[in-house]
Structure 1
Amino acid sequence: MDLQQMRYVVAVAETRNFTRAAERCFVVQSSLSHRIAGLERELGVRLFARSSRRVDLTDAGAAFLVGARECLAAADRAVADAAAATGVVRGRLAVGVIVTTAAVDVPELLQRYRARHPDVHVVLRPGHSAELAAAIRNGDLDIAFLGLPESERPSGVESVVLDHDKHVLVVQAEHRLAGASQVALREITEETFVDFAHGSPGRAQSDEAFAAAGLVREVAYEAGAGELMTRLIARGLGVALLPSAFIRPLAADNPELALVPVVDGPRRIEWLAWSRFNPSPATRAMLDVLGVVRHA
């Protein structure tokens, strides 16, 4: 058994197709199929159930896949550690980003990072804060930019605060409150709201603020992206509470939107989070670019 066989198994498992797996691995299909068949003979089990139309993992294949991925990750880490010992940072950096990240200009950050470490392959993964933090704990992400209510902080990960922010009310430019100097939550409870999905940290920031004030509101539209929310608002379908640092640049270029300060509105904290367990050289390099001081 060797690492290349494991890579072939992972490729077939992820593509569910021997031809596409061979293309991904830059090898002819007959060679890939031969190596997997040889591995199955060595193990004494079938890893894949094959038919003319589909390829599925067997129970043994699913069990093998877990260990294969761990072995490949360990091998990649060994290569990266060896390179880092010579002063060269290589490997893969998986970065999680919430859609309303504002404390850091992510493209500008990646530009600086690439200038220093051009051999690192960066993978960006959008998502909400809870799932991104869980992905760090599970080893699926190396680092992430999160946004949480003031009452919460990332758990099970290393983290530093990047910024504190207040939410503002986002309304259509022709809305009755568009010219208001400020509003309170009790003045907007009858409005129809656009917000993030129920249960997400982005939604929780507003839900907690209304609950603390003893108020109830209606959320008619749930969306996963801030820009989609602003398009719904511009059509007059509802209003939203969004972090000011995120929405102000978007509203500045959109005359169909107006922003109103909220005196008792939600507040959030933006965090940078990374794994507590032996961060990779690529992760340590990103923390250095961000100027984060790590403690032993």
Structure 2
Amino acid sequence: ERTSRRVRLTSAGEAFLPAARECLEAADRARAEVAAAAGEIRGRLAVGAIPTVTAVDLPVALRDYRRRHPHVRITLTSAGSEALVERVRQGGVDVAFLGLPPRAEPKGVRSRRLGGGELVAVVPPDHPLAGQEAELRSLADESFIDFRAGAAGRAQSDEAFAAAGVRREVPFEVSSAELMVDLVRQGLGVGMLPAAYAPRFPDLRAIRLRDAPTRVEHLIWDNRPSPAAAAFLDLIGP
């Protein structure tokens, strides 16, 4: 439908659009599979990742992949674990790196466990427990900065505090580790980060916890990976 100012789809056009996109994606996949059969990887690789990936050096992995497969268009998006699972299910992302509580498993996708690790409490250098070892109950009177309630990045801490019998206050909910760290720097609360990720912020101090929350990192992909995605899975390894 065209007017003097803009062009927009009619209702019939909008109804046809998803099928048209599927046709284009199928054509792209067919071209990529033909190229792969001839020994050349082409097409698209859409990677998703939580911001705090530690099990894999993602920038190095992407660099190595590009060197091996220069004809693949690589994109990277950062989001929470739940959103990434949904994007892989819908086909918007080919492979994704997640962080989940130990008993959680990604559903509706194929997955591989990459490893697990503990979280530490992150505080300014002048905090009384900075650099020490403690238990979760010693933080009962603290205010916390964490991800939104219900998010996988929050659930791992909530479960551990509940198991320790600690009811904690989380007045600051954030969507990124960077904002969490900025608020910790200002003395507004205690953050919870993976122990392998916390050293990226040398101006802060970690409190190692004897009953620490833990998380497991997963690599997920669609049930029918494209040649480009399959090559990336091979690069990451078993």
Are 2:136 and 2:212, in contact at CA under 8 Å, matched by a contact in 1? yes
Q: Which residue of the partner structure matches residue 236 of structure 1? A: 187
Matched, 1:288 2:234: yes
Kindly provide the CA deviation profile for residues 14-62 of structure 1, in whole angstroms up to 9, marking residues without a partner as x. xxxxxxxxxxxxxxxxxxxxxxxxxxxxxxxxxxx44444544332222
How many residue pairs align between the two structures? Answer: 238
> Larger C-alpha radius of gyration, 1 or 2?
1
Q: TM-score if structure 1 supplies the norm length?
A: 0.77
Task: Kindly report which structure 2 residues correspond to 1:1-296, keeping only aligned pairs within 5 A, or say none.
Answer: 49-180=1-132, 182-248=133-199, 250-251=200-201, 254-255=202-203, 257-276=204-223, 278-292=224-238
Alpha-carbon offset, residue 122 of structure 1: 0.7
Counterparts of 2:205 and 2:69, CA distance in 1:
41
Counterparts of 1:197 and 1:100, CA distance in 2:
16
Kindly provide the CA deviation profile for residues 125-180 of structure 1, in whole angstroms up to 9, marking residues without a partner as x. 11111111121112111100110000101112111111110000100111121142
Which runs of 5 or more residues in structure 1 are unaligned?
1-48
Are 2:131 and 2:208, in contact at CA under 8 Å, matched by a contact in 1? no
Are 1:171 and 1:234, in contact at CA under 8 Å, matched by a contact in 2? yes
Q: Percent identity?
A: 51
Q: Which residue of the partner structure matches residue 35 of structure 1? A: none
Alpha-carbon distance change, 102 to 68 in structure 1, aligned in 2, over 3 angstroms: same
Q: Which structure has more helix as a fraction of its residues?
A: 1
- What amino acid maps onto 1:266 in structure 2? P
Alpha-carbon distance change, 210 to 50 in structure 1, aligned in 2, over 3 angstroms: farther
Counterparts of 2:68 and 2:218, CA distance in 1:
24
Q: Which structure has more strand as a fraction of its residues?
A: 2
Counterparts of 2:51 and 2:118, CA distance in 1:
16
Counterparts of 1:221 and 1:56, CA distance in 2:
42
Are 1:173 and 1:234, in contact at CA under 8 Å, matched by a contact in 2? no
Counterparts of 1:58 and 1:225, CA distance in 2:
39
- What amino acid maps onto 1:199 in structure 2? G
Q: TM-score if structure 2 supplies the norm length?
A: 0.95
Alpha-carbon offset, residue 92 of structure 1: 0.3
Counterparts of 2:161 and 2:8, CA distance in 1:
48
Counterparts of 1:280 and 1:198, CA distance in 2:
34
Which runs of 5 or more residues in structure 2 are unaligned?
none
Are 1:194 and 1:221, in contact at CA under 8 Å, matched by a contact in 2? yes
